[in-house]
Amino acid sequence: MKIVVLAGGTSTERDVSLSTGGMIYKALKGAGHKVVLLDVYLGYEGETANIFEIEKDFAANFGAIKESNPDIAQVKALRKDNPDSFFGPNVIDICRSADIVFLALHGENGEDGKLQAAFDLMGIKYTGTDYTSSALAMDKAISKEIFAYYHIPTPSGIHVKKGETFEWSLYPCVVKVCNGGSSVGVSIANTEVEMQGALANAFHYGNEVVIEQFIKGREFSVGVIDGKALPVIEIAPLVGFYDYKNKYQAGSAVETCPAVLNEELTVRMQQIAEDVFAALRLKTYARMDFMLSEQNEIFCLEANTLPGMTPTSLLPQEAKVIGIDFTGLCEKIIEISLNKYK
């Protein structure tokens, strides 16, 4: 099968995407597929006529994830022509010539439905959910409204636009950018003074934020593939909370799968994950993040429609518990994704 793995882009999760793309590329290439790995923004400047026959390692320049999110201005400076266009040189033509595009993108433009909608218009097949559900899941304010409508437990909170006045008195609380991911722009505020710094941090990454109650307890995640929940995984950061550094630097968190939970809590969390998958109209696969309070109350924080597939990512760990290795997981995602087009 001819497969393009599409990574990179211009979001704050660019490095995560490059790492995800490199892992997927190597796995699919090792399985015998004809695979090309592309940075969606920087594109490909070489000969494209027989690109799937080229014997080269497309992942050679895809580096590891740094401790801080990348400087997008520096990335844009690398583009030689039309830097305002999201698609780099030859990206569309190469994607059109593939049997399917494996989306390894994260964050803005890659995970929010824009690219999915563009590919639908161009007749390009891709992995993961469609543009509508991508947009619903990416916007944390809309997600929380949908959770409330379907009685899915989630922390109480408010949606605030830049420059708006609002009232909030519940501390500690969590402040997060509305359309972000990988915990970029997320802060915990314990006082009104800390709230101002948290807002400034979040508004640096977007014009809308969500402020929600802080749930003290244990953090979990549940992957869902084709509507069915995987085993629950627990994440316990060694220091602080599960922020960008703790997510992607090896050894920064202890991850236990299957999570040490009683059967009732395990089944309940998996059921809520499946309910979220259905409520947001998700397709193919996704990962839901949860907090379990000290009173054993389950709260769903958000849904991730293109979960990370890096060496430290959660979804591959969950799949491994039920006997699906990394390559098998990539091929299963492709198989289910192609069913969208039948």
Q: How far apart are CA 33 and CA 26, in angstroms?
A: 10
- Considering the domain architecture, whether residues 237 and 199 belong to the same structural domain is answered as no
Please check whether residue 27 lies inside any domain of the structure: yes
Question: Residue 248 — very low, low, confident or very high, per pLDDT cuts 50/70/90?
Answer: very low
Please check whether residue 107 lies inside any domain of the structure: yes
- Considering the domain architecture, whether residues 43 and 98 belong to the same structural domain is answered as yes
Q: How far apart are CA 266 and CA 248, in angstroms?
A: 25
Whether the per-residue pLDDT at 22 is higher than 90: the answer is yes
Kindly report, residue by residue over 213-225, the tens digit of the pLDDT.
999 999 999 999 9
Per-residue model confidence (pLDDT) at position 73: 81
Q: At what angle do helices 326-338 and 14-30 cross, to 10 degrees?
A: 90
Please check whether residue 145 lies inside any domain of the structure: no
Q: At what angle do helices 326-338 and 314-321 cross, to 10 degrees?
A: 100
Distances (CA, A) of 284 to 48, 110, 240, 256: 30, 16, 33, 24
CATH number assigned to the domain comprising residue 287 = 3.30.470.20
Task: For 40-53, give one letter per residue: b (16+ CB within 10 A) or e.
Answer: bbbbbeeebeebbe
Q: Count Cα neighbours of 217 within 13 Å in the Cβ-side half-sphere.
A: 18
Total domain count for the chain? 3
First to last CA, the chain: 17
Per-residue model confidence (pLDDT) at position 243: 46
Kindly report, residue by residue over 309-321, the tens digit of the pLDDT.
876 789 999 999 9
> Measured in whole angstroms, how far is the alpha carbon of residue 182 from the centre of its chain?
7
Question: Residue 242 — very low, low, confident or very high, per pLDDT cuts 50/70/90?
Answer: very low
- When the pLDDT of each residue in the chain is averaged and rounded to a whole number, the result is 90
- Considering the domain architecture, whether residues 316 and 256 belong to the same structural domain is answered as yes
Please check whether residue 257 lies inside any domain of the structure: yes
Residue with tokens 């760990």: 317
CATH number assigned to the domain comprising residue 122 = 3.40.50.20
- Considering the domain architecture, whether residues 162 and 242 belong to the same structural domain is answered as no
How are beta strands 208-213 and 228-237 bridged, if at all? unpaired
From 165, 197, 213, give the residue that closes a domain: 213
| Helix ranges, 124-228 (H) | 131-138, 140-149, 192-203
Beta bridge partners of 219: 235, 291
Per-residue model confidence (pLDDT) at position 140: 93
Domain housing 331 = 216-341
Distances (CA, A) of 240 to 128, 165, 235: 32, 30, 12
Q: How many degrees, rounded to 5, is the angle at CA 336 between CA 144 and CA 302?
A: 15
Kindly report, residue by residue over 47-105, the tens digit of the pLDDT.
898 999 988 888 876 655 455 566 778 888 888 887 889 999 999 999 999 999 999 99
Residues in the chain: 342
Please check whether residue 144 lies inside any domain of the structure: no
